[in-house]
Chains A and B, each alone.
Chain A
Amino acid sequence: MKLARVLVLIGVVGLGQVPAAVAGGLVQSANRLAQQAGRQAPATPSSSLARDAAGQQPGAQTTNTSSRKKKVWLFVVAGLGVAGGIYAIDHGVEDNTLSSRGLRKD
């Protein structure tokens, strides 16, 4: 279940428009959970990625801790990459909308 929480958190980070401070906190949480996940490997991998990364067949009962940590970091990097890309796009497009300029009157 730790892995699930890590992935959910990364998903949240990836949702963009997240203030940097909040994103930073989430990343810290993700990092902490990733470390915990590394120390407390669950009995059964819950994703195909986990199985493949660990070089295991579905249903295998053992896990490779280092591969698991590697995978989690992969998710963290991917999540940060997406968040960074979104940040760059949001600040790169021409935005004359009234809502962005605080001029909406409705």
Chain B
Amino acid sequence: MRELNLGRCWSQSASLVAVVAVLWTPVAWAQQNGGIAGVVRDGGGLAMPGVTVEASSPALIEKIRSVTTDGEGRYNIIDLRPGTYAVTFSLAGFSTVRREGILLGAGFVAPLSVNLAVGAISETITVTGASPVVDTQSVRQQETLNLRQLEDLPSGNIGLQTLAYMTPGFASTQADVGGTRDTWSAQGAYTLFHGKTGTRASFDGFRNQYFIGAANGVGYISDSGTIQELQLETSGMGAESGSGSASLNAIPRSGGNLFSGGIDGYFSGKGMQSSNVDDSLRAFGINSSAEVQKIFRLGAQLGGPVVKDKVWFFAAVARWGSRVNQPGAFYNKLQGKSGVPGTPTIAYEPDLDQPASSFDWFRNHSLRATWQATEKHKFAVFGDIQKSCRCTTGPFTGANAIESERGWDWWPSGVVNGTWTAPLTNKLLVEAGASWQVANWVNFAQKGVSRDDRSILETSTNFRYGATTVLTAPIARTGRGAQRVTASYVTGSHNIKAGVTLEQAFNDESRSRNNETDGLNYDFLNGRPLRIQYQALPFLQQERQNAELGIFLQDAWTVNRFTLNLGLRMDYLTMGFPAATLEAGPFVPARQVAELKGVPEWRDINPRVGVAIDVFGNGRTALKASLGRFNQLSRSDLTRRFHPFSSSVNTAFRNWTDTNGDFIPDCALANFTANGECGAISNQNFGKFIPSATLFDESVTKKNRDYLWDINVEVEHQVRDGLSVNLGYNHNWDGNFTVTENTLLGPESFDEYCITVPTDTRLPNSGQQQCGYYDVKPQFFGLGTLRITNAREFGKQQRYWDGFWLNANGRLPKGITVGGGIDVGRQVDDHCITVDIPNQPGDIANANVGGPFCRVVTDWADLLDIRIRSSVPIKGGFNASFIFRNTPGAEQSALLTVASAQVKFKDPTRTALTTAKAVNLYTPNSVYSPRFSQLDMAVSKSFNLGWGRLRTALDVYNALNSNSVQTLVTAYSSRWLRPTGFLDARLARLTASINF
């Protein structure tokens, strides 16, 4: 196999990047920092040019940022780290005004206007008041949570997903109950806001997502101890934002001039969890739920000055993990005990003394340094090296034997980034930054599995045991690089920003099977051999994002009470794969592939415009509207489909009649014709790449990158000091869908058939005859060439969303904080175009679930989403808080597999299907389970130690002990609607932290 250099010498690469980052580096992703802007007037209300405005904060290593007001009396201080600020206004002949206690969150522009009175400049008037809470300049719809807020809430395992979890409008995924969900999949739960796919997840402003196929899971697992603030942008993002329709960002903590830090930990163990199995679950034969064995964390942080006002550091270390016994899951008592040569395990018997668990653990070690090199040049570097174990991928639920799971060996993984910020004048700010993130995730077999073991599927029960189906090993690594350079020119009225962003990504995945000798897996029926499963080995899959380049220009132009946000972004994306050679395997010859670039290669122009109006000129009410075009997140699935290794016929099977009952396939395994105990191979092209099998139209590879338009209108109003509400409307729609056409076929190549819907009171069309299903005419079966092209060629395919929200955020009297609200929408997915089958286009994977349901409307009532959070200080240092979520229930499709005997063709001469078909019995997304509810609560007590603060807390997750169903069986059978995933039972957690 060809040696690969990329990512191989990770530590050297990381070191190099760190050096480059320090020497050359870049940027604070501007949107993650805030700003302060406003107008300075004299006592008569006239604008005052030339006033010196200084913002100071302990969060600034440079201590003070200074600007002067322009001819209209306006000023604008940008790029301020989250923190508490004081602003001073001074001009000779006027009393100095100082405004203190302005709390800035990420991306928030605080409006602050003052009047100066005639007096001596040495005379300072200090003004106090609540921080502004309405951003009257930006059109971004965003949400933030800082460290203290996160600490007060029952936040579970804090990560990038935390804000999405609390924000109405994000589609619910498998919920976490105080850490019962494995960290990696929990941190990746942030897709689908208002029907928009492709949320960009970032750490310190740099994209933090792996580059594997169409998925966008989190690449670097962040330690909650390093996070200062979480930021979520859901719409109205400016031209500086790259691909992706929503954006999550974790802003790391930094040191300061005072030493600070802490130690924190939490623990849940046996006996701290209830059971939530009730009659509704027992009716499906579910008699037990997952049982927490332990969920733990120990973290420590320390920050402070190395050289006061010059060099700060912040270091953090953490260990956390979980072990949760899964219902009905046990190790195999017969593992490795068959005595069959070459197949040590042929049967499964649960060892009731050895319950099986899902488990994971994480080890993070991070360091951030900030260096104010000169008055105008600031550098920051961050690195986190982690070794972790997602020890039971899946996640393991007990649906199969633990031995059929595989683990991820996450080493080395982590992130290195650096930024450079330079306010060269009080109007010109230059920033640059670079990041390198990598995840090695080599798969390994479970405890007790030997390298001769095979994966065995018992087809009568669909239960797998013996070993995992496939291992992503010995190579499994993916990563990203990102660079950015921006320049901002800021006057009081204009905030002009131009910049270049560049991202690269790579993915290398090899495949192997647990049995290293021949790589064969077996299918059994009632414990006897049925089939031999082949895989073309060795196998290597690689993709490269050679460049995702963005060039943008934007201006926030304030005229009176109006701020126009005008932006234009050019995006260029090019991908490909490198040359590679695979040695011959047991059943396939040596293979090679040449380097390819430019698949896809896309160019887009993305306008982003908006207007924000300070309605009454008092900074308390803003009316905002925005319109923007966003490319969908870059991902590697199209390039992967183009890769000859990936597109080869990589799997096949042959029947096996074990005549002598020795569990050894007595045949020539490399001879694919029927011989001995083995039938013929199921696909004669096994191991081969057929270039002509699938064609990719240039309308897909060179043009028409998928995109999204987003329209947003909202009113935001400060109802009292510290509390704002906003009411908004969002409309978004997708464009550039991809479909697969068979060049030989047309609508006339298919016969329509009908089915009789089973008699079942749970089905809305029980017992009725339903038509509109199609099967290809037998003479065309298996013929033709597939062509992947743009759906526009055949008609108008649509997906659009309309929705409203009402949110509140801020502080009530007595220190009570609230957040969240109500979000409701309606989504239409209309794919009523004919490519081959009438009104049933196949997507890029040529997937096409049969049925006459080409227009799917998910209605208002089914998308109502309520999420509320609050923290309430109580006397004596006690604090109570909760997060409540009431979201749509699990979708209940009904997918029936029909054979010839169950269908009736409209052509009376035809009686048989070409193959069994899976068909929808009714419109998907039209029937839902009862709504999902979860209430998490926490009570904490803080002790002032004099030199610091001790905080102890009791968290109770799923306090209502709900067993809301999250996933269920959609295949129509006796198991239809059986829950496959439901909310874990109520769980208590003890938390303690010491901060100084």
Contacts and interface: CB of A to CB of B under 8 A. Distances in A.
B306 A71 contact: no
A50 B305 CA distance: 14
Interface stretch (A14-22, A24-32, A33-41): A14-22
Contacts of A62: none
Nearest to A53: B947
Interface in B586-623: none
Interface in A50-82: 50, 52-53, 71, 78-79, 81-82
B315 interface: yes
A93 B323 CA distance: 10
A46 B363 CA distance: 31
Contacts of A16: 317, 319, 363, 365
Contact of A82 (B8, B313, B317, B411): B317
Contacts of A89: 296, 298, 319, 321, 361
Given A47-B304, A48-B260, A106-B8, A99 B319 contact: no
Given A48-B258, A106-B440, A93 B446 contact: no
B534 interface: no
Interface size class for chain A?
Answer: 35 or more
At the interface, is chain B mostly helix, strand, loop or mixed?
A: strand
Interface string B546-562: 00000000000000000
Contacts of A49: 259, 947-948, 996
Nearest to A3: B259
Nearest to B443: A98
B306 A104 contact: no
Contact of A86 (B319, B442, B947, B996): B319
Contacts of A105: 473-474
Nearest to B474: A105
Contact of A97 (B359, B365, B409, B996): B409
A46 B308 CA distance: 9
Interface string B944-958: 001110000000000
Contact of A96 (B444, B476, B996): B444
A23 interface: no
B300 interface: yes
B39 interface: no
Contacts of A14: 300, 302, 315, 317
B259 A47 contact: yes
Given A17-B365, A49-B948, A4 B305 contact: yes
A19 B258 CA distance: 30
Interface in B310-365: 313, 315, 317, 319, 321, 359, 361, 363, 365
A52 B265 CA distance: 25
A97 B444 contact: yes
Contact of B389 (A7, A15, A79, A95): A95
B854 interface: no
Instruction: Please list the 9 inter-chain residue pairs (A to B) with the smallest Cβ-Cβ separation, ordered nearest first.
Output: A47-B259, A105-B474, A97-B409, A11-B302, A82-B300, A52-B947, A99-B411, A89-B319, A11-B315
Interface of B: 8, 257-261, 263, 265, 296, 298, 300, 302, 304-306, 308, 313, 315, 317, 319, 321, 359, 361, 363, 365, 387, 389, 391, 407, 409-411, 440, 442, 444, 446-447, 473-477, 946-948, 996
Interface of A: 3-4, 7-8, 10-12, 14-17, 46-50, 52-53, 71, 78-79, 81-82, 85-86, 89-90, 93-99, 103-106
Given A90-B319, A98-B409, A105-B473, 10 more contacts: A7-B302, A12-B315, A46-B304, A46-B305, A82-B263, A85-B265, A94-B359, A97-B389, A97-B411, A98-B444
